Amino acid sequence: MISLAWAAAFILLAPAIGGLIAGIDRKVTAHMQGRVGPSIFQPFYDVGKLFEKEGAMVNETQRFYVLSYFVFAVFAGAIFFAGGNLLLVIFGLTLAEIFLVLGAYSANSPYSHVGAERELIQIMAYEPMLLLTAVGMYVVTRSFDAIDIAGFPTLLVLLLPGVFLGFVYILTIKLRKSPFDISTSHHAHQEIVKGVTTEFSGPNLGFIEVAHWYEVVLMLAFVFLFFAANWILGIIAIIIVYLLELAIDNTNARVKWQLAVKSSWTIALVLGALNIAVLYLIGRA
Amino acid sequence: MDSVQFLLFLILFPLISALFMLAVRRDTERAWIVKLSALAIGVVTVLLLVTQVGQGTLYFGFNAEPVSLLMFVLEMVISVIILWYAVRFRNYLVIALTLVETALIIWFESAATPAVVVKSPLFLDPFSIIMALIIGIIGSLICVYSLGYMRHFYQHHTEIPDRTNTFFIIIFVFLSAMFGLVFSNSLIWVFFFWEVTTLCSFLLIGFTRTEEATKNAFTALWMNLLGGIAFAGAIVYLTYQPAGMLGLDQVLVSGKALVLIPAALIGFAGLTKAAQMPFSSWLVGAMVAPTPVSALLHSSTMVKAGVYILVRFAPVFTGTAVGYTLAFVGGFTFLIASGIAISQTNAKRVLAYSTIANLGLVVACAGIGTYEAIWAAILLIVFHAISKSLMFLSVGTVEHRIRSREIEDMNGLIVRMPRIAAMMTIGIAGMFLAPFGMLISKWAAIQAFIDAPFGLVFVVILAFGSALTLFFWAKWMGRLLAITPDAENVEGLVDKNEWIALVSLAGLTVVTCFIFPLISAYLIEPFLLANYGTVAGLAQDNIIIMIMMLFLIVLLPLSILLPHKKARTLPPYMGGVETTHDMHFQNALGARTEMKLSNYYVGSWFGEARLAMTGICLCSVFIVLMFAAAFIGGGAFL
């Protein structure tokens, strides 16, 4: 726990950065589809408008779930940027996600119910790879602390190429991009409407959007860790990875959840576990 | 009180309570005896903690000859009782197993070798204290709960003759045997108490005397007898070893080569009692018994005896092929049982598979046997006992109220039975969410596995298993917390005794998360120091963050009390179809339909039959490998 300043910076700046990323995302996506697209500040206008709207809800408990989702998403990110334990970050993030899912369940609505089930399936799909990412970094650096991993002198990606690819694979799920935007989507073509967020509106939905920005920044920070030895390379990596996700998003149709789970697990086993196993054996020899 | 008096009190007092139950005629008398006994047992275990903590390991030597003789006689009585049941129900397998076991008992009891003489048959160390607390506090709370439950039970099942007294007698004997088991240094004594728990669980599972109950009771019996034979075999083997080898104090420090074979045999016995695959079916079948029995078997007794002995023998397992194969049995049981739990719609079956899975994790830790793994194993035992008993007792209460154990029928329970649903939410959170107990333990397990040689395989198993665990708990929790319109509160008057137990356990679930660093510092670490010469723990910073999260989780629900504008509530989105307030709508054919939701159970992937068969085959192979490794002397090649 070295850097409380970084944690504070995350809490204050992440929404701005996350919102901008969302804005650029929409602009680039529009260009890919041959449209002009909105201003890159559009996400801020959208969320701002959500906060002006009436706070109608299906039931009063939703307020609690949204607040908890928001608080723990921020908390998990803050632990990361303070240089804390990666496992703890992952557990915090999972806890946050569970609150979102419970909020969706609590509405007792068909669309949000299916969204909640699918969201859980998505968590089940990416969780092993996420844990293995932390484990891989530990095997190399002998520490779970973000601060130690960031301070490691060699580029982690060179030792953990499989883990990196595996992480990028599940990043698609975390960013809610096609082909894995199964529980809810940024695009309005879903047969389950807005899935897990169907029953949230007004300020509640605004909080969910902002919490998602925090999560995006946190996930991209994970990408940075693979390149932390050279921060310029790290930033370039983040940009390339994000553009890659956008390209995938725009060129793929949504798949069934079965394929999402099977492929994520296979990737975690083949790329993630195998990569770590090789390192492990080299380390022992 | 002298230390040894505590132990004798805890072993003998439940037997005295059982004797009193023989004389009881009226409900009020019974309630008083059960409550006072439970209180006495609970208070004495806490006193045991307060007075004995920090004393290290104490051995109590006395002339045990008469007691041992009495145990031998009682063991023969147990064999006769089991034989009587087996003959009555024509269960030839059980007859054969009992005869083999009895022969082994007579063999080692009649052998007069130096190994048989154990100077101190009883002992007390920090791990025994932890186990005693689990048995004493959780066991007593379950007794109190049973008072309310059994009354309801007989109101609902008028066809079954009232045998409440017998029920409590068996439970008190069970508790006594569990105390004996964790305080015994002599393996012959451990074995005696082990057999008593086998008999008690057989009687409790078959308690209702229905055809199904009898069948499942015999399944539990033959599997545990198989374990008993292995245990007795280990004792016979040790009888021909140097002096004092039948004492835990000697056998655990006498070098791996010498004790690997008996350790593997006792490991096998532990696997049967801890319901690991291929022996998991007895625990799933055991849920036909009244719910407090399930709570008892799953949390504080029986299965915990299995993992207790494995954790005791962990120093022998460390770094041996026997240990690793044992760990694989546990690891795969964890993974497969977690998967099966996803496909289960019956709440008690979900709980059963979750128990099997979590015990698998404990077994994996014990098999790895490093000090870090044992730290994780003991935390798992403690946290699992509390949350799981809370879950079982809550399900029992709900079952009596809504007449169903199906998770689908618990939809919107937070509206219909708000307080019980809150208890269950705490219990489920305790089982899988940060910053609660089981997650802390899993975290410790990851740390332990990753530092152990070849532990990576177990890290991968844990990563996948945790993902499965998360799915089945979260979807259950979601069902409980759904707000259904127009549902009535049917909680009514839940029995006072049931409330005492539920609220205490829910409180314990939360409180132990706050004080687990103390449990670790005063009980687990001294135990590790005595057995491994080194201690394990989580970094201070991380514990502080965990406790911060815990505070947040406790405080966030209070946010509802903050002043805020009351929001307008709107009905959920139904795709534009006109829907009444109670969620009825006109479907495409014009018929009135009720909107109904159901969880995913994914039977095609996680179906019980398919996965269980895989698990049974896989784990059987590892058990065979374990014995092969023990007999070749597998200590050498790792």
Give contacts of A123 with chain B, Cβ < 8 Å.
467, 470-471, 474
What is the average pLDDT across B616-620?
95
Which one of A183-192, B211-220, B241-250 scores highest in mean pLDDT?
B211-220
In angstroms, rounded to a whole number, what is the distance separating the alpha carbons of residues B413 and B408? 10
3-state secondary structure chain A: CCCHHHHHHHHHHHHHHHHHHHHHHHHHHHHHCCCCCCCCCHHHHHHHHHHHCCCCECCCHHHHHHHHHHHHHHHHHHHHHCCCEHHHHHHHHHHHHHHHHHHHHHCCCHHHHHHHHHHHHHHHHHHHHHHHHHHHHHHHHCCCEHHHHHCCCCCHHHHCHHHHHHHHHHHHHHCCCCCCCCCCCCCCCCCCCCHHHCCCCHHHHHHHHHHHHHHHHHHHHHHHHHCCCCHHHHHHHHHHHHHHHHHHHHHCCCCCHHHHHHHHHHHHHHHHHHHHHHHHHHHHC
Examine residue B435 and say whether the peptide bond preceding it is cis (omega within 30 degrees of 0): yes
Least confident of A134-143, B194-203, B586-595: B586-595
Nearest C-alpha neighbor of B323 from the set B364, B358, B361: B364
pLDDT per residue as tens digits for the range B165-177: 999 999 999 999 9
Number of domain units in chain A: 1
In angstroms, rounded to a whole number, what is the distance separating the alpha carbons of residues B265 and B630? 9
Contact B194, B181 (CB under 8 A): yes
Interchain proximity A109–B600, CB inside 8 Å: no
Strand partners, B60: B122
Give contacts of B569 with chain A, Cβ < 8 Å.
56-60
Residue A146 exposed, middle or buried by CB count within 10 Å (0-12, 13-18, 19+) = buried
Residue B255 has pLDDT above 80, yes or no: no
Q: What is the mean pLDDT of chain A?
A: 92
Contact A274, A162 (CB under 8 A): yes
Above pLDDT 70, what percent of chain B?
99
Q: Angle, to 10 degrees, between the axis of helix A110-141 and the axis of helix A161-174?
A: 160
In angstroms, rounded to a whole number, what is the distance separating the alpha carbons of residues B151 and B28? 12
* B:395-414 residues touching chain A, CB 8 A cutoff: 411-412
Interchain proximity B597–A127, CB inside 8 Å: no
Residue keyed to tokens 């350790």: B263
In angstroms, rounded to a whole number, what is the distance separating the alpha carbons of residues B636 and B483? 60
Contact B216, B285 (CB under 8 A): yes
Strand partners, B59: B123
Contact A139, A86 (CB under 8 A): no
Which one of A90-99, B149-158, B442-451 scores highest in mean pLDDT?
A90-99
Residue A221 has pLDDT above 90, yes or no: yes
Q: How far is the CA of B265 from the CAs of A44, B253, B621, B629, in angstroms?
A: 66, 17, 16, 12
- Could you tell me the pLDDT band of residue A284, with boundaries at 50, 70 and 90? low
Give every CB contact of residue A92 below 8 A, 6+ residues apart in sequence. Answer: A72, A75, A76, A79, B434, B549
Give the closest-approach CA distance of A82 to chain B in angstroms.
11
Q: What is the DSSP letter of B301?
A: S
Nearest C-alpha neighbor of B471 from the set B568, B562, B596, B606: B606
Q: What angle do CA B47, B51, B53 make, to 5 degrees?
A: 110
Of B474, B545, B575, the CB nearest to A88: B545
Of B462, B470, B573, the CB nearest to A109: B573
Least confident of A262-271, B413-422, B563-572: B563-572
Complex confidence, ipTM: 0.95
Give contacts of B556 with chain A, Cβ < 8 Å.
64, 67-68, 71
Q: Which two tokens stand for residue B445?
A: 């397990």
Q: What is the mean pLDDT of chain B?
A: 90
Q: Which two tokens stand for residue B297?
A: 């078997």
Residue keyed to tokens 């602009």: A27
Contact B332, B347 (CB under 8 A): no
Above pLDDT 90, what percent of chain B?
63
Rg of chain A over Cα atoms, rounded to whole angstroms, equals 19
Considering only alpha carbons, which residue of chain B is nearest residue A123?
B467
Cα distance from N-terminal residue to C-terminal residue, chain A = 33
Expressed as residue numbers, the domain containing A273 is: 1-282
pLDDT value at position A285?
60
Contact B362, B326 (CB under 8 A): no
Interchain proximity B559–A199, CB inside 8 Å: no
Interchain proximity B482–A117, CB inside 8 Å: no
- DSSP 3-state assignment of B59? strand
- Could you tell me the pLDDT band of residue B510, with boundaries at 50, 70 and 90? very high
In angstroms, rounded to a whole number, what is the distance separating the alpha carbons of residues B362 and B377? 5
Q: Give the type of residue at B410.
A: M
In angstroms, rounded to a whole number, what is the distance separating the alpha carbons of residues A273 and A277? 6
pLDDT per residue as tens digits for the range B561-601: 777 777 788 888 888 788 888 888 888 888 888 888 889 99
In angstroms, rounded to a whole number, what is the distance separating the alpha carbons of residues B427 and B429? 5
Strand partners, B346: B406
In angstroms, rounded to a whole number, what is the distance separating the alpha carbons of residues B326 and B266? 11
Q: Which two tokens stand for residue B272?
A: 């049967």
The answer to whether the Cα torsion of A124, B405, B289, B30 is positive or negative is positive
Contact A228, A156 (CB under 8 A): yes
What is the average pLDDT across A95-102?
95
Q: What is the DSSP letter of B561?
A: G
- Helix ranges, B24-64 (H): 27-52
What is the average pLDDT across B186-199?
95
Residue B109 has pLDDT above 90, yes or no: no
Of B482, B485, B567, the CB nearest to A55: B567
pLDDT value at position B634?
46
